[in-house]
Structure 1
Amino acid sequence: MSVDVNEVFAVERADQLEAARDWERELQSSVAAGTVKRLPDGRYRVLSGWDAGEILSARGVPQHGLDLSRGQPALYSAVPAWHHVGNVIPGGTDDIDKVLRLGGIDYHVETVPATYLWKGEYRVAEDRFHTVRTDTGASLGVVGKGYTVVQNRRSFEFLQELANDSHAVWESAGALRGGKKVFVAMRLPGHVTVDAEGIGDEIIPFIVVVNSHDGRCPYEVVVTPWRPVCGNTERLAVRDAFSRWTVRHTRSALDRIHEARRTLGLSIKYYDQWADEETALARTDLAISEFDDLIDTLWPHEEDATARVRRTHEARRDRLHDLFAGEAERTGRTAYAAERAVTEYLDHFAPIRPSAASGLKGDKLAARGLRLLEGTDDELKSRTHRRLMLLRPS
């Protein structure tokens, strides 16, 4: 049977174009329905659903930034993500080994001596080592002799007790940056509500464990209202010791990880307190002049600043005003709307310059996703929260 390859190609291309038009129509329909918003830079932000806050490219394509070392995105999730990749088990699973395997993080990491080339001869650096994935042989980073690898399973298995004791659910697991950073998220039972009698924002708390193998970041456990399913997931600020637990990759790390369980025993109590504070902000009216004062406090500049600095400051102010106006349409002109506006600016609009050291030079989307997951701007978000709390009516 003969095949006209030109005809086959034409049919396939027509199907591709129609699929693209369908996607464009679906995207614009979502914009019209108010579930997706077009951003000033041409990208889109998802406004509702599990992945509210997800940023799409100008063509409506999600940017997941997940590890592709094994040929497919390294992600397990209990619910489908907007980017429609990864292994999904509806409702989740309580099998940690399955979570690690489906999340693509069931690999081990070893350290091997670092070598360097000197005058045509390879030499061994006595105090430097490469961390290497045993499944792919890829180098993940260069570390010192005091660095201790925290294997993926060991770093997450302490959460299994929560799954057994409190019906918590494994929500997601995956790897970023070629496996240099891995994460697991567990959904805590119940939820908290911000301003139940007003805007009624329901927040579901998650425990997220982040482990790295490149020597750049500590092992960290955070309590957050967002489950990570990509490198672009928004993470709200964490404001006290009960919601963040960190340990460096030293010999004592393995012995200390069990301390995280005791510390996180106050997670639900913390979230109740957090919801009370956010409710107070939602009931605090905020004048534009007060919002401008907040901006000047967070990003102060001298009166004799250069023209370039002044332009940058005004551009930031304009963007923040736009974001505040958007939030105010939903929640009113309140301190809560102001906090959300600052958070959105830091997470999605603040200037970022990926460095060669991060391995993401030139890839601003991936660099921004890493910045969110690592909580680079948490201190500035915390200052925003504290400043706005001072404006509550006495």
Structure 2
Amino acid sequence: MTVTDVNTAFAAEKTRQLDTARQQQRAFQARIDRGEIRMIGADRYKVLTGWDRGEVFTVTRNTQGQIDGIIAQHGLDERADGTIALYASSPAWHGLGQIIPGGTTDIDEVLALSGLDFKVTTVPALYEWQGEMREHADQRHTVRTDTGAALGAVGRKYCPIQNRQGFEFLQELVGRFDVVWESAGLLRGGKRVFISIRLPETVTVDADGINDIVVPYVAVMNDHSGQGQFQCVVTPWRPVCANTERFAVRDAVTRWAVRHTAGATSEIKEARRTLGLSVQYFEHFAAEETALARTDIAVRDFHDVIGDLWPLDDDATDAKKTNFAARLGTLDERFRTETERVGRTAYAAERAITGYLDHVAPRRPPKSMTEEVFRATAVMEGADDETKSKAHRRLLTLTRA
């Protein structure tokens, strides 16, 4: 039996990557040559494969130009005392933060250790016009009450969901007030925060085959900038930094989100229903994934599914045909990678399609956003959820063929 705790696997993979890169220049160059990482700027690289694909890091060099260190962009803020704004029940891969082995149930302690012990309020949005200060009647700014730092611009009906409310929401969601907190942290100056707990249930995929036991967490991601919702996800990732927060959202089994309005976090029944926090839900999910894992499919079947998701008309232009061929080639490559791990199955096909949508599918970001930020936003807002659900349903039809 294999227990797939992606958090442990991530830490092991990260340690291996760092050790390899430090050992010799040739090993680092070999990773570039194999397409595992690529340079995106002066000594800045992006990981293209593995648990931490999408992460950006910087290498440092000695006077001879040899690699002597790697600095990963964990993205965590610092607390007032200079320590990192992170609480965790076990050490994170980057060795940062305040660790309480085995965790704690004390909300106040976690708020203090993680740097989340502040409130958010809204203040009038003012602007200067011809030497006179005026107020924008339909807009306000979110501000930290401890430092006065501005977090974002919001509408006048916006009602901040406080950090403590995130903890209380998770307690009510699972119906327990002795919850052991797994992690909590602060990103982008307090604009984003995360909190997570581990669920007692586990999901076993194909017990008699690949026998993957997925450890699920419930995580809350709250946005104080006005650019995102308060959202809760069931995920295999325990967020401990900017990268794993992104992974938690990307690989969420299911999600529930609500806008920042008065009484928003009181919708516990709806959240429970949407997230499916029940034994029956996990059993149903495991059964479907197991069915996919036990269904062998040919490349032709995989191509048929792709054709259903992205149909190509008979009279399509040459440009559309070229784009279709490029997408097909990329998906085939991802499918081959997944089949090496779990076999040529519908399970591998689903992971290939989901990975393509999250990391590769072309995006056209507005001028105000980089492609990376725009892609992350699309994942958080579930822009491709409908396509992913359609792929899942379509692949399930093959299990009954």
TM-score, reference length from structure 2: 0.77
> Counterparts of 2:52 and 2:372 in 1: how far apart (Å)?
14
SS of aligned partner of 1:184: strand
Note the residue ranges of structure 2 that are not aligned, 5 or more in a row: 1-17, 40-45, 60-69
Corresponding residue number in structure 1 for 2:23:
25
> Counterparts of 1:351 and 1:68 in 2: how far apart (Å)?
35
User: Could you tell me which amino acid in structure 1 is paired with residue 86 of structure 2?
Assistant: L
TM alignment of 1:33-112, pairs within 5 A: 38-39=35-36, 41=38, 43-44=46-47, 47=50, 52-57=51-56, 62-67=72-77, 73-112=84-123
Matched, 1:319 2:317: no
Give identity over the alignment, percent: 50
Tell me the matched-pair count.
361
Q: Cα distance, 1:384 vs. partner?
A: 1.5
Q: CA contact under 8 A between 2:56 and 2:72: conserved in structure 1?
A: yes
SS of aligned partner of 2:311: coil
For the aligned residue pairs, the C-alpha RMSD in angstroms reads 3.5
| Aligned match for 1:220, one of 226, 231, 236 | 231
Tell me the alpha carbon deviations over residues 317-358 of structure 1, each in whole angstroms, 9 at most, x when there is no partner.
22211111011011110000011111222222233455465x
> Counterparts of 1:267 and 1:54 in 2: how far apart (Å)?
31
Corresponding residue number in structure 2 for 1:135:
146
Q: Are residues 326 and 263 of structure 1, via their aligned partners in 2, closer, same or farther at CA, if it must alter by over 3 Å?
A: closer
- Greater mean deviation of Cα atoms: 374-383 or 192-201: 374-383
SS of aligned partner of 1:251: coil
Tell me the alpha carbon deviations over residues 154-185 of structure 1, each in whole angstroms, 9 at most, x when there is no partner.
12223346789497532222233332222211
| Aligned match for 2:392, one of 362, 385, 388 | 385
Matched, 1:248 2:259: yes
User: Could you tell me which amino acid in structure 1 is paired with residue 336 of structure 2?
Assistant: A
> Counterparts of 2:210 and 2:130 in 1: how far apart (Å)?
68
Tell me the alpha carbon deviations over residues 125-167 of structure 1, each in whole angstroms, 9 at most, x when there is no partner.
1221111122332222222221111111012223346789497
Q: Are residues 377 and 40 of structure 1, via their aligned partners in 2, closer, same or farther at CA, if it must alter by over 3 Å?
A: farther
> Counterparts of 1:374 and 1:248 in 2: how far apart (Å)?
12
Q: Cα distance, 1:250 vs. partner?
A: 1.8
Q: Are residues 113 and 294 of structure 1, via their aligned partners in 2, closer, same or farther at CA, if it must alter by over 3 Å?
A: same
SS of aligned partner of 1:82: coil
TM-score, reference length from structure 1: 0.78
User: Could you tell me which amino acid in structure 1 is paired with residue 149 of structure 2?
Assistant: A
> Counterparts of 1:297 and 1:86 in 2: how far apart (Å)?
46
Q: CA contact under 8 A between 2:250 and 2:358: conserved in structure 1?
A: no
> Counterparts of 1:174 and 1:355 in 2: how far apart (Å)?
29
> Counterparts of 2:327 and 2:20 in 1: how far apart (Å)?
36
User: Could you tell me which amino acid in structure 1 is paired with residue 194 of structure 2?
Assistant: F
Q: CA contact under 8 A between 2:365 and 2:374: conserved in structure 1?
A: yes
User: Could you tell me which amino acid in structure 1 is paired with residue 386 of structure 2?
Assistant: E
> Counterparts of 1:149 and 1:27 in 2: how far apart (Å)?
49
> Counterparts of 1:253 and 1:140 in 2: how far apart (Å)?
20
Matched, 1:332 2:343: yes
Q: Are residues 340 and 28 of structure 1, via their aligned partners in 2, closer, same or farther at CA, if it must alter by over 3 Å?
A: farther
Matched, 1:197 2:200: no
Corresponding residue number in structure 2 for 1:177:
188
Q: Cα distance, 1:382 vs. partner?
A: 1.6
User: Could you tell me which amino acid in structure 2 is paired with residue 222 of structure 1?
Assistant: V
Q: CA contact under 8 A between 1:182 and 1:210: conserved in structure 2?
A: yes
Q: CA contact under 8 A between 1:158 and 1:258: conserved in structure 2?
A: no
> Counterparts of 2:104 and 2:257 in 1: how far apart (Å)?
26
